[in-house]
């Protein structure tokens, strides 16, 4: 039976106290709603419908690249009313799964159990969980035989019902045809004057349809986000989950609580990661890679036996086998370091290629540069790649030696085996195998005196 997913994402989120719509609040660098959409895709759904409302156009613009159908809920009249907005796009012969844009941690395996419990549309399946503090959640009310009879919202529950610790998460799966019929029969005679989606449980039970409550394994899997405190709690759960995944793959994390992976990570064997490391985007680490403390790595590939020392920032860079980076180095987009390259402290590399064995160990900027094999770049060297309008390339041949404090004014080529004298400003190509230097005449002015501060009048 084909599956249609409906994600409710129209809430205003007043408790966030933010101009950013609630479902766009960031979790691990991605909007809450993006997490839910990504999980829904793991179920191989036929289509995904997102019901939006508050800040709707901003939500749509932020997720414009997502292949989803959008349904607008112009006025918020409850969860039942929200689902109704999406139903015109859901065929009767589909199974419909209802998710929430502010419940981002539910696992695809749990959702698959929920879908399976709907028995191809012959049952209504709801996801429940037992909570130590169920305040604010709708309670699952069962009959004497243990069957689900109804769900009562917290505000409408009496004292006995509020003592129930099994609560409704709001996630459910059912036949689209039946769901459409039930939604058409909803009434808003409740404390909030809203059309509750949960009322379809009673309708299903009265129609003799089996209601299957599937318990989530962990309470933190179904945490909702309504304020910044809850957002931080969800972030902590997500961070802990990602750390556990990597440790089970053999990664050594010095302190799992001080590690943050915000995107897909592929790791080899015996990877070592120190404290306060952040991964963003897609990160791939080879065997025996070592990452020092306070490092940020975004969309990078780091090969076997490479070492990234403390306090480095790597963004869309490639690091070859046995390369050493840092401490305090910055690799910017399109930086490519080949095998055995050394990039040391306070070195910045942008859109440049350093070939096997090249070294730039301190205080250097390499931009739009090709550095040949076994080149040594001295401290304080700068490739002057920008003329105020255009960027120009510098090419340094294999085995060249660049003296400290050198300015290489692009476009310029340094030949293989060339030596550039320290303190030079090179504006013309330097021939291979020769010493090239450029220095003004050194003078000592015997009559010169250092200025002295004039006494105050």
**Alpha-carbon separation of residue 408 from 57, 361, 373, 416 (angstroms):** 49, 17, 18, 15
Q: How far apart (Å, rounded) are the C-alpha atoms in residues 353 and 346?
A: 18
Q: Which of 49, 309, 338, 362 is catalytic?
A: 362
Query: Could you tell me the two tokens for 38?
Result: 């990504």
Q: How far apart (Å, rounded) are the C-alpha atoms in residues 141 and 149?
A: 6
- The DSSP element (H or E) to which 261 belongs, if any, is strand 259-261
What's the CA dihedral at 365, 371, 373, 376 to 10 degrees?
Answer: -40
Kindly report whether the peptide bond that precedes residue 327 is cis, defined as omega within 30 degrees of 0: yes
Cβ–Cβ under 8 Å, residues 326 and 292: yes
Query: Could you tell me the two tokens for 3?
Result: 């599956």
Query: Could you tell me the two tokens for 417?
Result: 């085996």
Q: How far apart (Å, rounded) are the C-alpha atoms in residues 27 and 234?
A: 8
Query: Could you tell me the two tokens for 210?
Result: 């089996």
**Alpha-carbon separation of residue 250 from 6, 276, 285, 306, 431 (angstroms):** 37, 19, 12, 17, 50
**Which residues are 7's β-sheet partners?**
50, 99
Q: How far apart (Å, rounded) are the C-alpha atoms in residues 36 and 100?
A: 7
> Residue 417: left if φ>0, alpha if ψ -120 to 50, beta else—which one?
left
For the chain, how long is the longest CA-to-CA vector? 108
Within 129-280, where are the H helices?
A: 159-162, 176-184, 200-206, 228-248
Which is nearest to 29 in space by CA: 110, 132, 81, 104?
104
* DSSP letter for each residue of 18-80: SSS-GGGSEETTEEHHHHHHHHHHTTT-SEEEEEE-TTHHHHHHHTTTS--EEEE-SS---HH
Catalytic residue check, 362: yes
Known catalytic residues are 362
């Amino acid at each position: 039976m084909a599956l249609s997913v409906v994600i409710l994402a129209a809430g205003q989120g007043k408790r966030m106290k933010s101009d950013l719509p609630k479902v766009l609040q960031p979790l691990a660098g991605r909007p809450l709603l993006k997490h839910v959409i990504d999980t829904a895709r793991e179920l191989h759904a036929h289509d995904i419908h997102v019901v939006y409302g508050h800040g709707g156009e901003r939500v749509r613009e932020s997720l414009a690249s997502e292949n989803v159908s959008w349904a607008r809920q112009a006025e918020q009249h409850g969860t039942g009313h929200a689902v109704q907005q999406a139903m015109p796009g859901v065929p009767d012969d589909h199974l419909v799964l209802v998710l929430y844009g502010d419940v981002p941690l539910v696992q695809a395996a749990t959702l698959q159990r929920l879908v399976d419990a709907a028995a191809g549309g012959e049952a209504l399946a709801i996801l429940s969980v037992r909570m130590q503090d169920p305040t604010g959640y709708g309670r699952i009310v069962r009959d004497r035989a243990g069957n689900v009879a109804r769900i009562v919202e917290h505000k409408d529950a009496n004292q006995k019902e509020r003592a129930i610790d099994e609560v409704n998460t709001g996630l459910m799966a059912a036949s689209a045809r039946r769901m459409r019929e039930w939604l058409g029969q909803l009434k808003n005679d409740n404390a909030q004057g809203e059309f509750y989606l949960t009322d379809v449980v009673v309708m299903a039970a009265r129609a003799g349809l089996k209601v299957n409550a599937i318990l989530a394994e962990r309470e933190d899997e179904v945490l909702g986000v309504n304020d910044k405190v809850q957002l931080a709690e969800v972030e902590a759960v997500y961070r802990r989950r990602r750390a556990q995944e990597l440790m089970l793959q053999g990664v050594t994390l010095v302190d799992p609580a001080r590690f943050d992976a915000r995107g897909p990570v592929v790791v080899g064997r015996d990877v070592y990661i120190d404290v306060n490391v952040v991964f963003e985007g897609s990160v791939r680490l080879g065997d025996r890679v070592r990452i020092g403390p306070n490092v940020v790595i975004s969309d990078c590939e780091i090969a076997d036996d490479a070492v990234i020392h403390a306090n480095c920032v790597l963004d869309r860079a490639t690091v070859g086998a046995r390369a050493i980076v840092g401490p305090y180095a910055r690799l910017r987009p399109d930086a490519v370091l080949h095998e055995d390259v050394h990039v040391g402290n306070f070195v910045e590399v942008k859109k440049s290629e350093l070939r096997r064995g090249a070294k730039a160990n301190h205080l250097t900027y390499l931009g739009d540069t090709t550095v040949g094999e076994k080149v040594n770049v001295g401290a304080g060297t700068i490739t002057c790649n920008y003329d105020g309008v255009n960027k120009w390339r510098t090419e340094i041949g294999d085995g060249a030696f660049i003296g400290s404090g050198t300015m290489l004014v692009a476009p310029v080529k340094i030949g293989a085996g060339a030596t550039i004298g320290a303190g030079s400003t090179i504006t013309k190509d330097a021939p291979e195998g020769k010493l090239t230097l450029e220095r003004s005449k050194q003078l000592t002015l015997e009559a010169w005196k250092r200025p002295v501060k004039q006494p105050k009048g």
